[in-house]
Amino acid sequence: MFTVKNEVQLQESSEALLIGLFARNQKITGLTQELDSLLDGQITELLKEGDISTKHNTVSKVHTLGRAPIKRVYFVGLGKEENLSFESLREALGKAVKTISESKVGSFALGLDSFVTTGLDAHDVAHAFGEALALSTYKFADYKQKSNEPEKNIEKVIVYTDGNENEVEASLTVGYAYGQGTNSARTLVNLPGNMLTATDLANYAAELGTKYGFEVEILEKEEMEKLGMGALLAVNKGSVEPPKMIVLKYQGKDNWEDVIGLVGKGITFDTGGYSIKPKDGIVGMKSDMGGAAAVLGAMEIIGELRPEKNVVAVIPSTDNMISGDAFKPDDVVTSMNGKTIEILNTDAEGRLALADGITYAKFHGASYLVDVATLTGGVIVALGNDITGAMTNNEAFFEKVLEASLEAGEPIWRLPITENHKKRVRKSQVADLNNSPGRDGHAIFAGTFLGEFAENTPWVHLDIAGTATTTSAHNLGPAGATGAMVRTLATLVERFGEESEE
């Protein structure tokens, strides 16, 4: 995908060139200056006239009309240099790449140094560009008879920089891997429930395992019964699709220690069960495996980058259906760790599946746990669609996850777990726990419930019910699945055990 060059050769073969423009009193430098002299000062003129804008996220196209060897130049405005953050740079690059790809250009060149600031070096820019290139060009192949005509995709980018060619290429590749992992998660979430069953998800995970040499374990129903995974099995009871407990292990250290457990909710469709969802609430519930997708997307990045860390990914998967055999309110089930659960609401199924997932991750040696789940509508009420809800039992570990989320540009915000929440989750006449203590702040009850299974293992819960999908297209992707938390999880794993910079 990338060819990095120190020497600028604006050949005929490059269909387009992308350059960043800061609002530096409209003073132009570097490559832009070279082009300006080739075009007899026209760029300076167009800037003065406002036909080329330096405003952040604004793309201006200039045709060179045969006066320069390159056909078109795309300028993307970056605003004031001191205001440009990694995320705002990535967004501007996404906007520019999207514009270029929509004009059916198969390859283009990037003037990388035009994006460098005092705060963002060539590596940051290369990483942001790699990510933006993958994310902004993502498309889900739909099922319309008329669509999916062959499109011209961007296949090659020449990157000009004064920086070290190998190092810049490495950063471009890392960024691109982050984008690709996110896109894979998007595709899994976008797949409808009839095309992505627990079996399909398990097959996908097994293929990923083969590709990257992960140890793969897929538990079948009989094995789950033997292990006493009564919580996950309860959710599956009404389904004709067999459940799967999916495990992938990546060992990057000599010994199986300091293991990060990533647990993802893999409900391939959530009808709510007998506590059935209203008809409008069911639509969209194909995305209820967004946590599983985030974990698998992160595993793809880990497989590509091979950090010296240990990771176990655990995905409890089933759909939540209704039948004469389905589980019901008032049922009591026994989870893998022995705790009994009174079912008050069959629509609070994610926490049941995850309870056994968390216990099984610990069984596989997880010494830290992060679970990711489209768990509650409550988190959307609390934090909206841009911020992932977080809960924890360990301040220091939460700080690590927070740092990773900030680096990845995926905001999280913490909600509390109090003794009163624990009391409400433990309130039952007949069992150790109940799965739905009430509607008041219920995102917190879901997290509190999971904490009962994490026990003393440092754990962070991420509720992505609001962030896993979006209703509108944005500069880094279309409407639909976002791939939320893929990059946070991968960053957490990559950075884990390193001293933070402060």
Query: Which stretches of the chain bind Zn ion, using CB under 5 A?
Result: 267, 270, 288, 347, 349-350
* Angstrom distances, CA of residue 5 to CA of 31, 35, 97, 110, 122: 14, 18, 20, 10, 13
Selecting among 71, 139, 221, 277, the annotated active-site residue is: 277
Listed ranges 87-95, 292-300, 374-382, 484-492: which one lies at the site for ligand BES (CB under 6 A): 374-382
Query: Is the C-alpha dihedral spanning 392, 394, 400, 406 positive or negative?
Result: positive
Residue 442 touches which of Zn ion, ligand BES, none (Cβ within 5-8 Å per kind): ligand BES
Q: How far apart are CA 2 and CA 70, in angstroms?
A: 18
Q: How far apart are CA 42 and CA 279, in angstroms?
A: 59
Using CB under 6 A, which residues numbered 284 to 343 contact ligand BES?
Answer: 288
Please say whether the beta carbons of 134 and 180 come within 8 A: yes
Selecting among 286, 351, 400, 424, the annotated active-site residue is: 351
Residue 378 touches which of Zn ion, ligand BES, none (Cβ within 5-8 Å per kind): ligand BES
The residue within the footprint of ligand BES, chosen from 44, 337, 374, 392 (CB under 6 A), is 374
Return the number of the residue (125 or 358) whose C-beta is nearest ligand BES. 358
Return the number of the residue (60 or 190) whose C-beta is nearest Zn ion. 190
φ, ψ of residue 299 in degrees (nearest 5): -65, -35
Please say whether the beta carbons of 264 and 371 come within 8 A: yes
Please say whether the beta carbons of 463 and 446 come within 8 A: yes
Return the number of the residue (288 or 356) whose C-beta is nearest ligand BES. 288
Please say whether the beta carbons of 411 and 389 come within 8 A: no
The residue within the footprint of ligand BES, chosen from 348, 402, 404, 431 (CB under 6 A), is 348
CB 242, min distance to ligand BES, A: 20
Place of tokens 């008041």: 440
Q: How far apart are CA 189 and CA 235, in angstroms?
A: 20
Listed ranges 108-116, 118-126, 368-376, 488-496: which one lies at the site for ligand BES (CB under 6 A): 368-376
Eight-state DSSP code of residue 499: P
The DSSP string of 419-469 is HHHHHHHT--SSSSEES---STTHHHHHHHHHHHHHTTS-EEEEE-TTTSE
Q: Identify residue 373 by its one-letter amino acid code.
A: A
* Residue 351 among the catalytic residues: yes
CB 349, min distance to Zn ion, A: 5
The residue within the footprint of ligand BES, chosen from 378, 441, 477, 480 (CB under 6 A), is 378
* Long-range CB contact pairs, 453-456, < 8 A, 24+: 453/335, 453/337, 453/339, 453/354, 453/355, 453/358, 453/359, 454/358, 454/369, 454/393, 456/393
Return the number of the residue (131 or 270) whose C-beta is nearest Zn ion. 270
Residue 436 touches which of ligand BES, Zn ion, none (Cβ within 5-8 Å per kind): ligand BES
Return the number of the residue (90 or 265) whose C-beta is nearest Zn ion. 265
Binding residues for ligand BES, rule CB under 6 A, total 16
The residue within the footprint of ligand BES, chosen from 349, 356, 371, 410 (CB under 6 A), is 349
The residue within the footprint of ligand BES, chosen from 247, 465, 481, 486 (CB under 6 A), is 465
Listed ranges 134-142, 200-208, 373-381, 398-406: which one lies at the site for ligand BES (CB under 6 A): 373-381
Residue closest to ligand BES, measured at CB = 377
Return the number of the residue (124 or 288) whose C-beta is nearest Zn ion. 288
Residue 434 touches which of Zn ion, ligand BES, none (Cβ within 5-8 Å per kind): none
* Residue 362 among the catalytic residues: no
Q: How far apart are CA 501 and CA 480, in angstroms?
A: 36
Q: How far apart are CA 235 and CA 275, in angstroms?
A: 12
Identify the CA nearest to 136 among candidates 484, 476, 486. Answer: 476
Site of interaction with ligand BES (CB under 6 A): 270, 272, 288, 345, 347-350, 374-378, 436, 442, 465
Q: List residues with catalytic annotation.
A: 277, 351
